[in-house]
Structure 1
Amino acid sequence: MPTFAGAMGWQLARMHARVGDALQEMNAMSDPDRAAQRTLDYYRLNAEAFRDGTRDHDVSQNIDALLRHIQAPAPLCILDLGCGPGRDLKALTARGHVAVGLDGTEAFVEMARADSGCEVWQQDLLQLQLPTESFDGIFANAVLFHVPSAELPGVLARLHEALKAGGVLFCSNPRGQDEEGWSGDRYGVWYSWPSWRARLLAAGFVELEHYYRPAGLPRAQQPWLASVWRKASRG
């Protein structure tokens, strides 16, 4: 999904589009599947350009944040949720782990399979069918903010179920003040940290850490919020 290089432009674009998008936002919240499909259509139409534009982006800070909190022995089984063209699948397997990709865009699934050699599933985020207690970690880099807010509890519940006991979830999303709506042809929710934290805690996760990206810049120039969570027992 989108990388930190484009996040500032996204924030400016959505500020100029709020009024005209009001009716579309209401429709999207009442029909989340339609919002998901329109967002996927954007990625289908722009798959090659997206791959070219994100191929060399360094997200090693995020991968490190996930891996350092997993207590299971290597090799780890990692789900790359919203894997896109497969860049991060290659990074995970290069570290000796077993990575499985998942994306809703057909072109990305084909690219990821070809480029990484990993198993890649084509699934919609709103209709996830994941094996229970199968992953040591889930890497959700720049993807969960595309889930309409009303659907997020169900998605988080399925991710919780897919993690092994003590498994770890990494999330990175463009941050905001809990705005929800369209940025061009992509639907998103720009959570504040308090709101995002409350949702993850309610879903049965324990906070491990959070930070802002890109590293080393003033907060106003860090549009991405990253957070790491451990699966808590529901018993």
Structure 2
Amino acid sequence: MTIPLSDLEKIAALTLEHYNQRADDFRDGTRDHDVSQNIAALLRHIQGTPPFAILDVGCGPGRDLRTFSKLGHTAIGVEGAARFVEMARADSGCEVWQQDFLQLDFPDSRFDGIFANAALFHIPSQELPRVLRQFHATLKPGGVLFSSNPRGGNEEGWNRGRYGAYHDLDAWRGFMADAGFAELEHYYRPEGLPRDQQPWLASVWRKQDR
């Protein structure tokens, strides 16, 4: 079933409002989350000489923008929630673009890497191919995309005020391959736990010529 534009706009607006209303609590609750494994997974696959140009998709309050900057890279955030945009600009000192998944506007061949940590699962499945093609276009040749999403059985819908799509590995591989990406690695998080206690699927992909 195709989701009409009016419903897509509602999905985007209500999900972003959920975060806007809880922005301070979200920042406080995630400030100390350790995503160093994910950042390292992106950076080790980028070819060339640093510093790298990194696009942090769904950058939230700016925690990871600060990390990339401290590592010497040029990081730009993209975020739909207005409160997060304000926080990220203030806390990281980085450039942050306010855009949601319905109105992404990226320059061509700008970035060495895209970091999409806990962000892409909010995109309805029917819109995901378009968004991934936009990511493909904004990466430099051979650029790298990292994603981490809560995994599931390919169901989607509303979950506690937010819209989410919960893909398994095979489905995610299909979306990425169709968009022109080749898999570099994948793993489940948190580290060191049984698989049924690892709700996050992380994966790294290289842009292929199309």
Whole-Å separation in 2 of the counterparts to 1:183 and 1:161:
31
Whole-Å separation in 1 of the counterparts to 2:61 and 2:120:
17
Residue 85 of structure 1: which of 61, 74, 77 is its match? Answer: 61
Which protein has the bigger helix share?
Answer: 1
Whole-Å separation in 2 of the counterparts to 1:126 and 1:175:
23
Specify the alignment match of 2:111 in structure 1.
135
Structure ranking higher on relative contact order (CA contacts 8 Å, 6+ apart): 1
Asked if 1:175 corresponds to 2:151, the answer is yes
1:85 aligned partner, one-letter code: P
After TM superposition, the score normalised by the length of structure 2 is 0.97
Specify the alignment match of 1:35 in structure 2.
11
- Structure 1 residue runs of 5 or longer lacking an equivalent are 1-25
Output one character per residue of 1:96-124: Cα deviation in whole Å (capped at 9) or x when no partner: 10000110011101100111110111001
Whole-Å separation in 1 of the counterparts to 2:131 and 2:181:
13
2:3 aligned partner, one-letter code: M
Specify the alignment match of 2:94 in structure 1.
118
Q: Tell me how far 1:29 sits from its aligned partner.
A: 3.1
Q: What does 1:41-60 align with in structure 2 at a 5 Å threshold?
A: 41-60=17-36
RMSD between aligned residues: 1.0
Q: Tell me how far 1:169 sits from its aligned partner.
A: 0.2
Q: What does 1:65-84 align with in structure 2 at a 5 Å threshold?
A: 65-84=41-60
Asked if 1:217 corresponds to 2:193, the answer is yes
Asked if 1:189 corresponds to 2:165, the answer is yes
Whole-Å separation in 2 of the counterparts to 1:88 and 1:109:
13
2:112 aligned partner, one-letter code: D
Output one character per residue of 1:8-39: Cα deviation in whole Å (capped at 9) or x when no partner: xxxxxxxxxxxxxxxxxx8x933212111110
Specify the alignment match of 2:83 in structure 1.
107
1:107 aligned partner, one-letter code: R
1:137 aligned partner, one-letter code: G
Does the 8 A contact of 1:126 with 1:147 survive in 2?
no
Does the 8 A contact of 1:113 with 1:120 survive in 2?
yes
Output one character per residue of 1:38-96: Cα deviation in whole Å (capped at 9) or x when no partner: 10010010001100100010100000000000002100000000000000001111111
Whole-Å separation in 2 of the counterparts to 1:156 and 1:37:
21
Residue correspondences, number: 208
Whole-Å separation in 1 of the counterparts to 2:107 and 2:48:
18
Q: Tell me how far 1:126 sits from its aligned partner.
A: 1.9
* 1:156 partner SS: helix
Whole-Å separation in 1 of the counterparts to 2:49 and 2:72:
12
Output one character per residue of 1:129-180: Cα deviation in whole Å (capped at 9) or x when no partner: 0000000000000000000000001000100000000000000000000011
After TM superposition, the score normalised by the length of structure 1 is 0.87
Whole-Å separation in 1 of the counterparts to 2:80 and 2:64:
16
- Structure 2 residue runs of 5 or longer lacking an equivalent are none
